[in-house]
Chain A
Amino acid sequence: MEGVLKVNKALCDVCGTCVSVCYVSAIVVKEFEINIDNEKCIKCLNCVKVCPFEAIEEEK
């Protein structure tokens, strides 16, 4: 199993692009922050690829 995905808040613009490409609805915007549910996440890394500021990082 790969590492978990984490949002680097210093880079995140809370634009929601990551939410729109998540097939398993593992990402939500909550109180102006992006939340990734790593239990649901299937590590397709779509969110990592489309984040305009590359704010989603895989923690090994």
Chain B
Amino acid sequence: MIKQIAPYYDVIVIGGGPAGAVTARYAAENGASVLILERDREVGIPVRCAEGVSVTGISPFIEPDEQWICTMIKGASLHSPDGNYVEMYNNGDGYVLERRIFDRALVDLACSKGATILTKADAIGFVKNNDGEISGVQYRYLGKIYSVNCKIIIGADGIESQVGKWAGINTTIKLEDLETCVQYTVNNIKVNPELCRFYFGREVSPGGYLWVFPKSEYSANIGIGICGIETKPNIGPLYYLNKFIENNYPNASVSYTVGGGVPTKHGTDFVADHVMLVGDAARQVNPITGGGIVQAMIAGRICGETCTKALQANDFSKKFMSEYEKRWDKVLGANQRFMYSVKSSFIKMSDKKFNSIVGAVKSINQDELNLHALFKVALKEEPMLVAKMATSFLASKIKFDW
């Protein structure tokens, strides 16, 4: 007999990705009854992700497991438009994940703390009581529509977040704050499995970067993000990606193709009465790297803990639950604002500038070369950055995580 869905849960999480799973886990761990609704047939699909994370970023949340680790990353190489490149090895290790398995592990963890998940369950709207107050969620499951009551709804429903829209939270992204991306997973290539590669330049990936993240010695995620203001008809991310692969990996065979958008500016409103947004839905993404997994997990923990507090206080108002926004800002706000200011200059950077930065960085002793050293060089090359970074540095506690 399949576990029945109860008529009421304290918390309903819409979306079973890392943001939803971590929120569910921390809410459940503290005694809340939690239901995760996942619209797909399983969590973790389709993978819309380059799958790179830092070890220090995810280690507070899950024990490493070789089942979801494809490669251990030791360094990064940065490639300027003139073909020059520099390798960096002092920024901590990373993993290239197998997201499909990783996402399932996070959900398993949430369920081990008491959460329940239902797949193929597509949320279609809120349920409201006679006073117009949000009192539950309506979802479609195997062709039928069901309602389930709750106190708190978590929108962990990704970049297109319907929950944010239903709650009246303004989540619209400006074109300059969006990267439009296409990624292939390719095989029949030869790559260093310990090195993530990044390619820059107006002709390579205008207003963004192109990545080669190894999944093994002979396969990689090769993808590109270009800024939303840089596309032209028939000259979008797919055009640049195909050009790169033809020139660099002509024998590559494509085993997976995916598109998607990455927000590069964090939201400021994540909360409404009875509702909190988390992860991509709240635009919680590193503005420079576009990485969202660690951000989603950090926010998910705070969000889950806020659920507990709201349930204890029996107060689900925007005012009470905005503690989540305040705590998020304390932990990540300064970091996000700093990264965003750098990103704003980065998307406008000329090829000449990229060339001279990589050229200058090459002269740094390999032992001393890390992102801090890189930013120091970038500062000299890009005076506009100085003012922006100086203001951000005052906020301190800057972390260079990816």
Contacts and interface: CB of A to CB of B under 8 A. Distances in A.
A41 to B, nearest CB: 14
A19 B173 CA distance: 9
B159 A16 contact: yes
Contact of A20 (B173, B229, B231, B259): B173
Interface in B112-126: 122
B237 A52 contact: yes
Given A50-B228, A52-B236, A52-B238, A17 B162 contact: no
B168 to A, nearest CB: 10
A38 interface: no
B228 A21 contact: yes
Contacts of A8: none
Interface residues of B, number: 33
Nearest to A52: B259
Nearest to B46: A13
Interface in B252-277: 258-261, 263
A28 B263 CA distance: 18
B178 interface: yes
B178 A17 contact: yes
B331 interface: no
Nearest to B281: A20
Contact of A15 (B171, B233, B259): B259
Interface residues of A, number: 21
Contacts of B237: 52
Nearest to A31: B122
A53 B182 contact: yes
A16 B238 contact: no
Summarize A's interface: helix, strand, loop or mixed. Answer: loop
A32 B124 CA distance: 12
Contacts of B236: 51-54
A37 to B, nearest CB: 13
A54 B261 contact: no
Given A20-B173, A53-B259, A29 B160 contact: yes
Given A16-B159, A51-B180, A52-B180, A23 B259 contact: no
Output the residue of A19, A25, A28 with the most chain B CB within 10 A: A19
Interface in A1-39: 13, 15-17, 19-23, 25, 28-29, 31-32
A46 B174 CA distance: 9
Nearest to A19: B160
B231 A21 contact: no
Nearest to A34: B160
Contacts of A46: 175, 228
Given A17-B180, A21-B178, 8 more contacts: A13-B260, A15-B258, A16-B159, A23-B172, A31-B140, A50-B178, A52-B236, A54-B238
28 contacts: A13-B258, A13-B260, A15-B159, A15-B160, A15-B261, A16-B159, A17-B178, A17-B259, A17-B261, A19-B159, A20-B160, A20-B172, A20-B178, A21-B172, A21-B173, A28-B162, A46-B228, A49-B228, A49-B231, A50-B180, A50-B228, A50-B261, A51-B236, A52-B181, A52-B182, A52-B261, A53-B182, A53-B238
Interface of B: 39, 46, 48, 122, 140, 158-162, 165, 171-175, 178, 180-182, 228-229, 231, 233-234, 236-238, 258-261, 263
Cβ-closest 10 pairs across A and B:
A16-B160, A17-B261, A52-B259, A19-B160, A15-B260, A13-B259, A50-B180, A20-B173, A50-B228, A20-B159
